[in-house]
Amino acid sequence: MVASKIDFSAQFGGVDAAASVLPHFKMLKKAAGGLRLQGFPYPKLAFILRVDGEINKFGFSGSGYPAIDKRGKYLSIDIGLQQSDRDRIDEAITEAILSSVDVVRSKLRDSNDVDFQELEQCLVSLCVRYKEEIARSHEANG
């Protein structure tokens, strides 16, 4: 089994949502760069940030809505951020990423192709890298 990539995409519910979460989105993309997940049955684990804004609201916080694309190229998991999460964006994202192990487990419960311990360790590494990116950003912006 080939190592899988972790990637992020985003859907912002307005300019306000993009303004507050876009820096975090960029840091997540950077943190995921080069990170590989062993023991996962799809080439990609894709997180989709769904960020409530002034125009559209997705109406949930945390991780959920797992989906497998029709070609079997990725498993996606939504990470919802409501406007009330904006004062703790990094914590909300980190909690959602870590809780996504349970979301994957519920979606792939009948699969023997998933090493859930490896998945959890990889996502912990991702969160550590994300926190390091946040620290670098704070140091740079002084």
pLDDT tens for each residue of 26-85: 999 999 999 999 989 999 999 999 999 999 999 999 999 999 999 999 999 999 999 999
Indicate the SS3 state at residue 126. helix
Domain ranges, residue 14 = 4-137
Whether residue 111 is contained in a domain is answered as: yes
Whole-angstrom distance, CA of residue 53 vs CA of residue 19: 10
Whether residue 142 is contained in a domain is answered as: no
Whether residue 93 is contained in a domain is answered as: yes
Greatest Cα pair distance, the chain, in angstroms, is 49
Tens digits of residue pLDDT in 108-117: 987 778 899 9
Whether residue 23 is contained in a domain is answered as: yes
Domain count across the chain: 1
